[in-house]
Structure 1
Amino acid sequence: MKAFLEFFTLTDPNIRYVVLGTMLLTSSAAIVGTFTLLKKKALLGDATAHAAFPGICIAFMLTGTKHPIYLAIGAFTTGWIALLLIDILIKHSKIKEDIATALLLSVTFGIGTLLLSIIQNTSNAAQLGLNNYLFGKAAALLGEDLLVLGILSIAILLTVVGLFKEFTLIAFDKAFAESIHMRVNLLEFVFTSLIVLAIVIGIRAVGIVLMAAMLITPAAAARFWTDRLTKMIGLAALFGAISGLLGSFVSYLFPGMPTGPWIVLIVTAIAYISFLFAPHKGLLAKKLRQYKHQNKILQENILKLFYEIGEEKGDFFGNCSTEELMQHRAIPHNKLIRGLVSLEKASLLYYKGNKWRLTGAGKNEGERIAQRHRLWELYLTKYLKTKPAYIHENAELIEHVLTPELVKELNKLLN
């Protein structure tokens, strides 16, 4: 409890720098990552992060210091050049985007590793800690780092807010944006710069290798919760901030645990929770909707079966055993019992003496389903000239999705 209070009150300046710094970088990256995800350019984040590494090494070699501003300028420059080279490769060769991105990713990271080896063989003592940019070291964030992170994060936020409509349009319909003479190339340039900027501010804490996850994962998690872009951006920023906060807390409780990997693990856990439990797009919600739909089809098929048997016998309220029902339609016994019990609970069937019969409401519902089936069969025969062998099977599928409005139109059309 003492450690918990000490951490969340942010009384220690070192804790304050780490927590605020990681929350700033994760939320800023998540905002930019939302548009990156929608533009289907997720791999660009990984390429940019790796391309920033040579810039960090070059900046250190030129200045002899690890000042965050100098290193940020170097990382931004090489990261942006890499994205420019990817664009040139795509436009002026037969190389596709994924291949060009993978190519630049490997080459730039190799160059960065080579430059780091050269630096490590020099006598400059300031080189210590430079390799932390590979995997990140949030615990090393200082006040000057926090100032740079704050300025760059505010710049990203203001740019996104100021160009929100334009970014939205080119993310969803770039061709339309070009047709109304929007300056798409300039907007793409600005957006590319934001990607690089988000990467630059994050690699100090999360590292080059893991930074792509911070760019894309919060946005991917937010996508499961909403279809509105503004809410998606807000949720992505929130998920990023939460992962930064909790990752820092775990690292504080266990000093041997690196902050960057824990941030990535937490945001990945949020993504998996979203994937499983999001109310509309989550896997469990989809499975539940699928189960309800299958149960609805089963119940409608059983009611139609009772109605058709009633037509044959001339008695819609006659009793039927499960064996008789299965003789008329091949429904597995366990599924049939499940459907019959559900219909009894809905007061559409009545059960007595191991036999079942329709109630008044059940008869009306069975008649409605049979009518939809026969209307569609007639429509297929009369207007679409479908072969008889396919008519019944097609109607078996369509009868469950015909709306009252379509049924009304079919009645009018077929007289």
Structure 2
Amino acid sequence: MLSRPIFLPLAQLNWDYNTQVVFLGTTLLGIAAGVVGAFMVFRKRALVGDVIGHSALPGLGLAFLFGEWMSPGAGRSTTSLMGGALLAGLVGAGLVLLMERTRRIKSDAALALVLSLFYGGGTVLFSIIQRLPGGGQAGLGSFLSGKTASLLAADVSMLAVAAVVLLGITLFFFKELILIGFDAEYAAAGGWPVRTLDTLLIFLVAAITVLGMQCVGLVLVVALLLTPASAARFWSQDARKVVALSGVLGGLSAGLGTLISATWPRLPAGAIIVLTGLGVFVISLTLGRQGGLWERWRGSRSLQQRILRDDVLRGIYEILEASTPTPDRTGTFSPSELRSRHSWPTRQQDRLMMELIDEGSVISQGDRFRLTEHGLSLARQTVRLHRLWELYLMEYANAAQGHVDLHADVSEHFLDPRLLAELEERYGSRIPMGSVPQSPHALPSAVSPVESH
């Protein structure tokens, strides 16, 4: 019953010609913004789009004043207004790059200075325009918050064509933009025109920003560029896939936001598009396969389980080793003996023992347990790697004999497979493969909770 009032408007959406046209235009803009935004993120110029957006504000005011001075009424021309915004945005971005090259002003300070300067100047110009005859009806305020729902077919056509052209330019220079995004110094050393490519990227960002003004407004347009790219990075580490996925997510956010705003006309369309993109980002942040919260939680839990499992197997082996130098399957141990060597809670140890029994590593024999052949092999390998790492730390890291066990416990679970192979190669001549070396330190019969790691 609760879902009916929410989803019923979507089912009754009036898919008329105007909605179709706006949907197509905003979707193409979202795709282009997502692709260009990915290269912005690669180049570590995420806030340049915000600077361009705020720098475009005085460009709008000057373009309106110039048009009205040339011919009354001409200042409201969308083409002239967007042209003025584009020029002002490029000037603002150019000033940021110029300040950065002086090496006297840091990048964040340059961004803040230019943004404040241009936005303050634009605010003054807008207040002047409001006092002019007819200035209140100029419609410049729509460029601040967007006017998606009121876009005309001619506006959308220009928007779609420009988005396709910008997307084509970006894909044409795909390899070069990827190169400067990840290693500009290498590109410069290889003879690539890094400054020219940087200028091209700034132009693409400025053009997307100006086009996005009509949809989401100057203040929120940076979200069109950054949100899809940021979301895409949670799904892949391949640059090509990130760019493609960023475009898909950008188009999805813009298109779905347009449909939602058409369903509820009273809601601001630009803000809905941005919030839809934010929703896509939150989903990616939560469920993404590359660093998403769920994946990180699963990885952390899996690592903790592996550490506990290795510690249990090593503890069992050391208990058996105390009675015979070469433990075999006939040796048994009790839960109390295992618990005396670590500070695990009883419930946690019981759960770990049940997991080892289920996987066939441990067999229960009344109130005692013993390792199976599979479990004994795993325990030997675990103890072998632990003691080889102890030997390495003592020889090359000057670890004290009395503390090397703790140092090894802390770091052994994070060793790179190549380092493990190096350990086997380094000590293989002295300690044959498959055998377990003697512990370089005395094995305590019990470990207090304070001493346990």
Which band: TM-score by shorter chain? over 0.9
Aligned-partner Cα distance in 1 for 2:298–2:119: 45
Task: Give the counterpart of 2:428 among 402, 408, 412.
Answer: 412
Give 2:344's aligned residue. Answer: 331
Aligned-partner Cα distance in 2 for 1:303–1:202: 60
Deviations 1:300-322 (A, max 9, x none): 11111111111112264343332
Aligned-partner Cα distance in 2 for 1:111–1:373: 66
Larger mean Cα displacement after TM superposition, 386-395 or 55-64: 386-395
Larger mean Cα displacement after TM superposition, 124-133 or 367-376: 124-133
- Give 1:16's aligned amino acid: Q
Give 2:44's aligned residue. Answer: 40
Give 1:28's aligned residue. Answer: 32
Query: 1:53-72 residue pairs with structure 2 within 5 A?
Result: 53-63=57-67, 64-72=74-82
Aligned-partner Cα distance in 2 for 1:375–1:2: 66
Aligned-partner Cα distance in 2 for 1:402–1:409: 14
- Is 1:358 the counterpart of 2:367 in the alignment? no
- Give 1:206's aligned amino acid: V
Aligned-partner Cα distance in 1 for 2:301–2:10: 44
Task: State whether residues 376 and 398 of structure 1, in contact with CA within 8 Å, keep that contact through their aligned partners in structure 2.
Answer: no
Task: State whether residues 66 and 126 of structure 1, in contact with CA within 8 Å, keep that contact through their aligned partners in structure 2.
Answer: no
Give 1:211's aligned residue. Answer: 221
Structure 1 residues 390 and 413, CA, compared in 2 at 3 Å: closer, same or farther?
A: farther
Deviations 1:237-272 (A, max 9, x none): 111111111111111111101111011111001101
SS at match of 1:65: helix
Aligned-partner Cα distance in 2 for 1:230–1:214: 19
- Give 2:133's aligned amino acid: S
Aligned-partner Cα distance in 1 for 2:40–2:195: 16
Deviations 1:106-154 (A, max 9, x none): 2211211211111121222684421011111101211221122123212
Aligned-partner Cα distance in 1 for 2:313–2:84: 72
Normalised by the size of structure 2, how large is the TM-score? 0.86
Aligned-partner Cα distance in 2 for 1:252–1:402: 53
Aligned-partner Cα distance in 1 for 2:28–2:264: 22
Aligned-partner Cα distance in 2 for 1:358–1:150: 69
- Give 1:48's aligned amino acid: I
Deviations 1:153-205 (A, max 9, x none): 12211211111111111100100111111111111111111110010100111
Query: 1:294-333 residue pairs with structure 2 within 5 A?
Result: 294-314=304-324, 316=328, 317-333=330-346
Give 2:451's aligned residue. Answer: none
In the TM superposition, what is the alpha-carbon distance from 1:342 to its structure 2 partner?
Answer: 1.2
In the TM superposition, what is the alpha-carbon distance from 1:353 to its structure 2 partner?
Answer: 3.1
Task: State whether residues 156 and 194 of structure 1, in contact with CA within 8 Å, keep that contact through their aligned partners in structure 2.
Answer: yes
Give 1:194's aligned residue. Answer: 204
Task: State whether residues 237 and 290 of structure 2, in contact with CA within 8 Å, keep that contact through their aligned partners in structure 1.
Answer: no
Task: Give the counterpart of 1:224 among 234, 237, 262.
Answer: 234
- Is 1:242 the counterpart of 2:246 in the alignment? no
Give 1:340's aligned residue. Answer: 353
- Is 1:258 the counterpart of 2:268 in the alignment? yes
Aligned-partner Cα distance in 1 for 2:43–2:430: 47
In the TM superposition, what is the alpha-carbon distance from 1:390 to its structure 2 partner?
Answer: 3.6
In the TM superposition, what is the alpha-carbon distance from 1:405 to its structure 2 partner?
Answer: 2.8
Task: Give the counterpart of 2:401 among 360, 381, 388.
Answer: 388
Task: State whether residues 233 and 290 of structure 2, in contact with CA within 8 Å, keep that contact through their aligned partners in structure 1.
Answer: no
- Is 1:375 the counterpart of 2:378 in the alignment? no
Percent of pairs with identical residues: 32
Normalised by the size of structure 1, how large is the TM-score? 0.93
SS at match of 2:214: coil
SS at match of 1:357: strand
- Is 1:85 the counterpart of 2:98 in the alignment? no
Task: State whether residues 373 and 398 of structure 1, in contact with CA within 8 Å, keep that contact through their aligned partners in structure 2.
Answer: no
- Is 1:177 the counterpart of 2:191 in the alignment? no
Aligned-partner Cα distance in 2 for 1:42–1:121: 36
Task: State whether residues 307 and 366 of structure 1, in contact with CA within 8 Å, keep that contact through their aligned partners in structure 2.
Answer: yes
- Is 1:133 the counterpart of 2:143 in the alignment? yes
Aligned-partner Cα distance in 2 for 1:137–1:249: 14
Task: State whether residues 26 and 240 of structure 1, in contact with CA within 8 Å, keep that contact through their aligned partners in structure 2.
Answer: yes
SS at match of 1:130: coil
Give 2:278's aligned residue. Answer: 268
In the TM superposition, what is the alpha-carbon distance from 1:31 to its structure 2 partner?
Answer: 1.1
Q: CA RMSD in A?
A: 2.1
Structure 1 residues 402 and 342, CA, compared in 2 at 3 Å: closer, same or farther?
A: farther
Task: Give the counterpart of 1:16 among 9, 14, 20.
Answer: 20
Give 1:157's aligned residue. Answer: 167
Structure 1 residues 65 and 140, CA, compared in 2 at 3 Å: closer, same or farther?
A: farther
Deviations 1:73-96 (A, max 9, x none): 101100000011111222225221
Structure 1: unaligned runs, 5 residues or longer: none
Q: How many residues align?
A: 413
Deviations 1:370-390 (A, max 9, x none): 111222222333444432244
Task: State whether residues 119 and 127 of structure 1, in contact with CA within 8 Å, keep that contact through their aligned partners in structure 2.
Answer: no
Task: State whether residues 234 and 288 of structure 2, in contact with CA within 8 Å, keep that contact through their aligned partners in structure 1.
Answer: yes
Aligned-partner Cα distance in 2 for 1:410–1:343: 32
Task: State whether residues 19 and 245 of structure 1, in contact with CA within 8 Å, keep that contact through their aligned partners in structure 2.
Answer: yes
Aligned-partner Cα distance in 2 for 1:364–1:62: 83
Aligned-partner Cα distance in 2 for 1:119–1:357: 87
Aligned-partner Cα distance in 1 for 2:278–2:292: 15
- Give 1:153's aligned amino acid: A
- Give 1:37's aligned amino acid: V
Larger mean Cα displacement after TM superposition, 87-96 or 266-275: 87-96
- Give 1:91's aligned amino acid: R
Structure 1 residues 91 and 385, CA, compared in 2 at 3 Å: closer, same or farther?
A: same
Deviations 1:27-48 (A, max 9, x none): 2111111011111111111111
SS at match of 1:205: helix
